[in-house]
Amino acid sequence: MLDVGCGTGSHSLLLSKRGYHVTGIDVSERMVEAAKRKAEEEGVEVEFLVQDMRNIELNKRFDCAICMFGGFGYVLTNEDLVQAFSGLNRHLKDSGLFIFEFWSVGGLKPSPYQTWLVAKERDLTLYRLSESNFDPQTNVLTIDFHFIELRKHGAARTFDETHTIRCYTLPEMRRYLGDSGFELAASYDWGVKDSEEFKTPTRETFRILAIAKRN
């Protein structure tokens, strides 16, 4: 299996523990180093490499590729999209699967959309405030995050992040896949509370899990 945009390797490690042979790639050297450390600490054998999903060069083919939790949305232009699908096509075996999540235009909230959450773990409390703005001309969602980190025995810390994510409609994604040698075999609403329920997406679905098959 190929884990595209593997981040710190959470999905790769889980799949490896279930008996799959996994290669994880990510454009971030920091993420790949963190993934390697986690694999070593947990005694799991996974190959992690620094590679851009738009220019995959691995000299081998896989039964299946995955790209989870919105990672595919960082491919922002049509040119990059064609390159990404072309690279995946070259690296999948006949009838190989590409399983990925993308964000749907229909599920977006009116801009600007503001949210906040709080997460607690041991001596750490983290507050995250966000504002999302959508550009309908490019289908790009820009999310500005502001974090406040409070530790029980330490100074408070704040930091900011900005993420730009391309969104799609389901018919759009079906067309792009078809043009790149894939067939959209199935799609599911990935925002349902019951993670074991496979629900058909609607126009209002935000997170869609797509299963594409290489022709």
Give residue for tokens 């299963």: 211
Which CATH architecture does the domain made up of 109-165 adopt? Single Sheet (2.20)
Rounded CA gap, 37 and 46, in Å? 11
Name the DSSP class of 19.
Answer: T
Question: Could you tell me if 81 and 172 are in contact, meaning their C-beta atoms sit under 8 angstroms apart?
Answer: no
47-87 pLDDT, tens digit per residue, is 999 999 999 999 999 999 999 988 899 999 999 999 999 99
pTM: 0.88
Task: Please report the sign of the dihedral spanned by the C-alpha atoms of residue 51, residue 178, residue 90, residue 4.
Answer: positive
For the domain made up of 2-105+167-214, the CATH class stated in words is alpha beta
DSSP string, 109-133: PPSSEEEEEEEEETTEEEEEEEEEE
Name the DSSP class of 137.
Answer: T
Q: What are the residue ranges spanned by the domains of the chain?
A: 2-105+167-214, 109-165
Give Cβ neighbours of residue 51 (< 8 Å, ≥ 6 apart): 25, 26, 27, 57, 58
129-183 pLDDT, tens digit per residue, is 999 999 999 999 999 999 999 988 878 899 999 999 999 999 999 999 999 999 9
Is the backbone of residue 32 left (phi > 0), alpha (psi -120 to 50) or beta? alpha
